Structure 1
Amino acid sequence: MAGRIKDEDVTHIRDHSPIDDVVGDYVQLKNAGGGQKKGLCPFHDEKSPSFHVTPSKGYFHCFGCQVGGDVIAFIMKLEHLTFMETIERLADRIGYTLRYENTGVNTGPSINRSRLVAANTAASIFYQEQLQLPIAQIGRDFLTKRGFDRDAAKNFNVGYAPDEWDGLYKHLKGSGFSDEELNLAGLVKEGSKGMIDRYRNRLIWPVKDISGDVVGFGARKLASDEVDTGPKYLNSPETPVYKKNQILYGLDMAKKEIAKNRQVVIVEGYTDVMAAHLAGISTAVATCGTAFGDEHIRIIRRLLMDADAFRGEVIFTFDGDAAGQKAALRAFEDDQKFVAQTFVAVEPNGMDPCELRQAHGDDAVRNLVARRVPLFEFAIKSVIANYDITAAEGRVNALNQVAPLIGKIRDASLRPEYVRLLAGWLGMEVDIVSSAVKKIGKASEGLSEKRVNLTDPVLVLEREVLKVKLQLPELAHGWVDLESSAFSFPLYSSLRTLIDNQKEFDTQELINKCDSDELKSLVTELIVEPIRTDGEVSERYITSIFARLREVALSRSIAEIKSTLQRLNPVENDAQYQEIFGQLVGMEAARRVQKELALGES
């Protein structure tokens, strides 16, 4: 294995890798004044940007999670790479050839990220060249039948894996790659007589990470099931450079348009991404053989820069069948993690974007996205469709199934609107629907008091503030200024009330006055739980979390006031409208102050 990288080369890489350019491959940065740029932190969930980059100094720092360092530290932490792997990756990025200290032992090339990416890139070129040969006619026919010409295949680097046991293996071995490298990259596997290609007689799509490096492949079989008994789509295995839950196909092409248009369209496959982009939907991406999950959400959120409520769109294109509806209901849970509005676009006949483009052209794909409906609406109507609502029993059963969905909507200002819509869809009185939703909501609240979602960033924030009040009351200066609605979790809200009812703060007295075992357990838990595990607790940190909690609470109140204003007629209710509008202006100003304070800008 190669020795350590020469110190002067490390210095060269650090000096010639502008930190804002490198970070910009992962995070949408905006100018923050004073020579700084800021964005949403890639190391923890947040809705307001606290991640700052100072290009002139070559450093980054997050005021939310306190992670910081230079460009090398950034890549090491984000990509989970070693120091040497990070330097090699940055060297590849600027086209610099590294020099290694001679260890005196020659054991062949080192296994590092740059070699794996190079092997994948060489494989991609090989597959693209194969697609142009007579043997790949079956692959070209597949593309043609789906409306993709030669230029489309070239734009997306589509290739063909020949119907051979070791065509790629021999080619890459001739290019200097070792068995170990090719196996580790997921390009070959062990056969009965040695290494063989992972893909045979398949159409190949190279999968790139957000920075544009080829890290894996998706392969669609072309032979019949009798000839090829393998899966219809075969994706790269997990490798040091390919993590399917962190990859979105097409993101390298779409990232700039996603940031520019504040929109992302989630489709279900490689051909759907191609069809969408060719139809002018340049914000389309797809997962690679896995469900859309938390890691994908974090990636999308950083690009959307959804620092304020409802500033962007996440549009899912599900199939219209039962599986698609199930996916929509599953995504309903994930929707709560987006500040951006989430929509669903489903073609009535169940066609995916690729099929729709084949049948009706580019306009039909664009119209599909344009006709999107809110995810909440789609999920609720999907449940209603399972019942005969022309009968009283069907309407009641549908209501009982849908009420919990409305209760799960965290944005309190949206719930009354969906109660009204549901009443219309079911043909029932609004009061009856509202009563059912509240009844189920109270039952759910009773259960939720015993459990808290410790991955929810808002609830984590509320918990941090309570821990500061219990453990460091002398530093909890912002406690008296917290809004009455600051704590959204019922048990947290109960604890806040208990604290406020004390004449003088005393933890033992607080425990004695707890009226339930759950509340008592919460107090003792928060007293001993570390306030934070990633650094020293400073006054700056405490000021920041109190300000962030006030900002969140004010945002909730602002949403409710906006909803009230929308229902008022400013002509008929001028005085009331002006009074409420004045409250809104004041709250918006207060929220901006808290936001700046949380970011250390005030």
Structure 2
Amino acid sequence: MAGKIKDEDIALVRERTAIADVISEHVTLKSAGGGNLKGLCPFHDEKTASFNVSPARNVYFCHGCGAGGDAIKFLMDHDHLTFVESVERLAGRAGLQLQYVEAGSAPVRQTGQKQRLIAAHAEAARFYAEQLGSPGARLAREFLAQRGFGREEAERYGCGFAPEGWDPLSKHLRLKGFTAQELITAGLSREARSGSLIDRFRRRLLWPIKDISGDVIGFGARKLFDDDDGPKYLNTPETPLYKKSHVLYGVDQAKREIAKQSKVVIVEGYTDVMACHLSDVPVAVATCGTAFGADHIAVLRRLLLDADGYGGEIIFTFDGDAAGQKAALRAFEDDQRFVAQTFIAVGPDGMDPCELRMAKGPVAVRDLVADRQPLLDFALRSVIQRFNLDTAEGRVGALKATAPLVAKIKDRTLRPEYARKLAGDLGMELETVQRAVGAAAKGVVEPPPAPARKILAPDSAEALVEREALKLALQQPALAGPMFDAVGAEVYAHPTYAALRAAIADAGGASTASGGVVWIERVRETCTDPAAAALVTELAVEPLRLDGEPDPRYVEATVVRLQLPALNRRIADLKSKQQRINPVTNADEYLRLFSELVSLEQHARALRDRGASRW
């Protein structure tokens, strides 16, 4: 039976271990003065760095949660290792040979389960990498070559191939001394119905997935053959080593540049990570078969030193399609957990970084990242696109959907600016948008609706003008004639008055009538709206709103005032539409609307001047 590690060896491991080197593989450390370092604590969520490391004394302590100790304790708590496993890992780093007591006549090196699983994965990665050069791996090599990755790139990322057959890897690892249970626990093999051991991956291109310290903890496998009825991508299952909600592919190669540049680019696949790194974007990482979530954020926050007083950038790359927009909105929800600024980069024609590198070269990948845009801008546009902003209902719906997004902005000083931007995008009054954002910030589910075209009250000024015009058409058709008929039912906002105006047109129009009871009866019989039919006789006898007899000037003034509200609504709609157009990228449409607005506003001024004389 193997015994414990000799005390002098444990002391030597502590002496030979630089704690700052160990911790900096997981936490970005910056100078705290006096020779000490500090960063975000990996053991609890914090925004202000309170995790302190003393290289001189080889210890760490967090003033926020009280965690502290030496390098051995750090690995025990951070990587969930036993004391022996932690000492063994540090000894391996330092190149020390450990001695054990109570192990018989010869020293025996006893490793814990986690180290055994890591060792099994390392050997599996070597096995798969060797198989990539075999005849059976031709499709795997072609897959990589078609995406611009040759032998050198495949070796750099440890790409491999799971060969034909049920158990070649299992047999290889058993010959290396690993037990069947270890291989099953590691997720490298599984038990067949017959009880024999078979490989998890067969006839697939493989990428080794490493943790932040560089140990292989799992694999991602891509389908190559048409007769493979499995999923397109198959990953290692959840194991003591592999927790997919924590894993970021490429983080082992990207971590130092992420800390150095205070920037990370999150892509969607293994080949995208490779394409970015090979295009001089060394800060790219990808999730492994799961959505970007809170545990991934915790990893990145420590690498970025995402704390108060420090800056940083999180850049997501998603497709511009519906799924990409959904992912971006989900990312925006997570954005509030970062202090760093979040952005999104969408490739031309929806190309991902790998496709972009193949089509346009490494410069295009760098340009993709450089041309990033704030994630909130993209999220707002993605929501707004679902609505028809040419209608009042569409603008109100868009406001209800977007106001909560603006209200969630963690930096409150940015909210007024985004409220102004949203008002412009929607073509609405700033005060309306501000009220909606304020209501959403207070938890009100329905923000106040934007002003929409109202149903006229019968005694409103606009309704009285419409009523007067109808009276003129019924009582004085010969006088009202062409001027009345020139203005259609679409300008009448009161629904009953609009129905009556339509009935007058169906009766032949005021220009065809001479007046009297025959004309009035003809109009009433033409009405399909009962309320409008009942109104005909009432308006036929109701006095006009003037002293004396009407003349052409009074008819003109009435018809002019009838047109003004509809004309003003049209002007407001055009202004709203113009606000939503970028004059730089859509100059022709912007100028067309501007020209139409100038013409309509001139017409409105002329109508106001003509209609002011008798009203």
Matched with 2:381 is: 381
Query: In the TM superposition, what whole-angstrom CA distance separates every residue of 1:27-67 from its partner, at most 9, and x where no partner exists?
Result: 11122222211111111122222111112212101111121
Matched with 2:504 is: none
Q: How many angstroms apart in 2 are the aligned matches of 1:140 and 1:298? A: 36
Matched with 1:170 is: 171
User: Residue 265 of structure 2: SS of its match in structure 1?
Assistant: strand
User: Residue 389 of structure 1: SS of its match in structure 2?
Assistant: coil
User: Residue 330 of structure 2: SS of its match in structure 1?
Assistant: helix
- 1:243 is aligned to 2:243: yes
Matched with 2:190 is: 189
Q: How many angstroms apart in 2 are the aligned matches of 1:291 and 1:17? A: 36
User: Residue 147 of structure 1: SS of its match in structure 2?
Assistant: coil
Matched with 2:127 is: 126
Matched with 1:205 is: 207
Q: How many angstroms apart in 1 are the aligned matches of 2:210 and 2:85? A: 18
Q: How many angstroms apart in 1 are the aligned matches of 2:265 and 2:279? A: 13
What code does the residue aligned with 1:318 have?
Answer: F
Larger deviation, residues 362-371 vs 374-383? 362-371
Q: How many angstroms apart in 2 are the aligned matches of 1:153 and 1:380? A: 40
| Structure 1 contact 320–348 (Cα < 8 Å) conserved | no
What code does the residue aligned with 2:76 have?
Answer: M
| Structure 1 contact 111–181 (Cα < 8 Å) conserved | no
Matched with 1:161 is: 162
Q: Map 1:12-161 onto structure 2 (within 5 A).
A: 12-102=12-102, 111-161=112-162
- 1:320 is aligned to 2:320: yes
Shift of 1:309: 5.1
Shift of 1:108: 12
Q: CA RMSD in A?
A: 2.2
Query: In the TM superposition, what whole-angstrom CA distance separates every residue of 1:411-436 from its partner, at most 9, and x where no partner exists?
Result: 11111111111111112221221122
Q: How many angstroms apart in 2 are the aligned matches of 1:144 and 1:57? A: 51
Distance 1:239 1:94, change over 3 A: farther
Q: How many angstroms apart in 2 are the aligned matches of 1:290 and 1:105? A: 50
User: Residue 442 of structure 2: SS of its match in structure 1?
Assistant: helix
Distance 1:430 1:348, change over 3 A: farther
Q: How many angstroms apart in 2 are the aligned matches of 1:211 and 1:443? A: 43
| Structure 2 contact 40–302 (Cα < 8 Å) conserved | yes
Q: Map 1:436-515 onto structure 2 (within 5 A).
A: 436-444=436-444
| Structure 1 contact 89–113 (Cα < 8 Å) conserved | no
Distance 1:215 1:420, change over 3 A: same
Shift of 1:372: 1.0
Q: How many angstroms apart in 2 are the aligned matches of 1:92 and 1:185? A: 21
What code does the residue aligned with 2:198 have?
Answer: I
What code does the residue aligned with 2:130 have?
Answer: E
Matched with 1:591 is: none
- 1:221 is aligned to 2:223: yes
User: Residue 37 of structure 1: SS of its match in structure 2?
Assistant: strand
Query: In the TM superposition, what whole-angstrom CA distance separates every residue of 1:178-233 from its partner, at most 9, and x where no partner exists?
Result: 21222222111111341111100011101111111111111111111xx2111111
Shift of 1:310: 6.5
Q: How many angstroms apart in 2 are the aligned matches of 1:83 and 1:343? A: 42
Matched with 1:268 is: 268
**When the two structures are aligned, how many residues end up with a matched partner?**
445
Q: How many angstroms apart in 1 are the aligned matches of 2:73 and 2:392? A: 63
| Structure 2 contact 383–401 (Cα < 8 Å) conserved | yes
What code does the residue aligned with 1:314 have?
Answer: I
Larger deviation, residues 105-114 vs 160-169? 105-114
Q: How many angstroms apart in 2 are the aligned matches of 1:138 and 1:66? A: 53
Matched with 2:360 is: 360
What code does the residue aligned with 2:167 have?
Answer: D
What code does the residue aligned with 2:69 have?
Answer: G
What code does the residue aligned with 2:211 have?
Answer: D
Q: How many angstroms apart in 2 are the aligned matches of 1:123 and 1:2? A: 26
What code does the residue aligned with 1:150 have?
Answer: R
Larger deviation, residues 6-15 vs 207-216? 6-15
Q: How many angstroms apart in 2 are the aligned matches of 1:291 and 1:93? A: 33
Q: How many angstroms apart in 2 are the aligned matches of 1:387 and 1:446? A: 17
Shift of 1:171: 1.4
| Structure 2 contact 388–395 (Cα < 8 Å) conserved | yes
User: Residue 221 of structure 2: SS of its match in structure 1?
Assistant: strand
Q: Which runs of 5+ in 2 are unaligned?
A: 448-615
User: Residue 393 of structure 1: SS of its match in structure 2?
Assistant: helix
| Structure 1 contact 88–113 (Cα < 8 Å) conserved | no
Shift of 1:175: 1.8
Distance 1:198 1:401, change over 3 A: same
What code does the residue aligned with 1:218 have?
Answer: G
| Structure 1 contact 60–68 (Cα < 8 Å) conserved | yes
Q: How many angstroms apart in 1 are the aligned matches of 2:373 and 2:135? A: 45
Shift of 1:85: 2.1
Distance 1:30 1:324, change over 3 A: same
Shift of 1:350: 2.1
TM-score by length of 1: 0.71
Q: How many angstroms apart in 2 are the aligned matches of 1:116 and 1:6? A: 24
Distance 1:108 1:8, change over 3 A: closer
Distance 1:20 1:119, change over 3 A: same
Q: How many angstroms apart in 2 are the aligned matches of 1:208 and 1:171? A: 21
What code does the residue aligned with 1:271 have?
Answer: T
| Structure 2 contact 164–203 (Cα < 8 Å) conserved | yes
Q: How many angstroms apart in 2 are the aligned matches of 1:432 and 1:444? A: 15
| Structure 2 contact 118–217 (Cα < 8 Å) conserved | yes
What code does the residue aligned with 2:257 have?
Answer: E
Q: Map 1:282-297 onto structure 2 (within 5 A).
A: 282-297=282-297
Q: How many angstroms apart in 2 are the aligned matches of 1:92 and 1:113? A: 14
Matched with 1:500 is: none
Matched with 1:529 is: none
User: Residue 220 of structure 1: SS of its match in structure 2?
Assistant: strand
Matched with 2:345 is: 345
Query: In the TM superposition, what whole-angstrom CA distance separates every residue of 1:430-473 from its partner, at most 9, and x where no partner exists?
Result: 122112212333344999xxxxxxxxxxxxxxxxxxxxxxxxxx
Query: In the TM superposition, what whole-angstrom CA distance separates every residue of 1:258-313 from its partner, at most 9, and x where no partner exists?
Result: 11111100011111101111111110001111221222112111111133356110
Shift of 1:336: 0.8
Matched with 2:535 is: none
- 1:394 is aligned to 2:394: yes
Shift of 1:160: 0.7
Distance 1:229 1:275, change over 3 A: same
Q: How many angstroms apart in 2 are the aligned matches of 1:388 and 1:140? A: 48
| Structure 2 contact 82–112 (Cα < 8 Å) conserved | no
Q: How many angstroms apart in 2 are the aligned matches of 1:432 and 1:109? A: 70
Shift of 1:81: 1.9
Q: How many angstroms apart in 1 are the aligned matches of 2:62 and 2:110? A: 37
Distance 1:18 1:446, change over 3 A: farther
| Structure 1 contact 316–344 (Cα < 8 Å) conserved | yes
Matched with 1:428 is: 428
Q: Which runs of 5+ in 1 are unaligned?
A: 448-602
Identity of aligned residues (%): 58
| Structure 2 contact 76–82 (Cα < 8 Å) conserved | yes
| Structure 1 contact 28–259 (Cα < 8 Å) conserved | yes
Q: How many angstroms apart in 2 are the aligned matches of 1:441 and 1:156? A: 46
Q: Map 1:579-590 onto structure 2 (within 5 A).
A: none
Distance 1:244 1:95, change over 3 A: farther
User: Residue 413 of structure 1: SS of its match in structure 2?
Assistant: helix
| Structure 2 contact 85–111 (Cα < 8 Å) conserved | no
What code does the residue aligned with 1:220 have?
Answer: R
Matched with 1:558 is: none
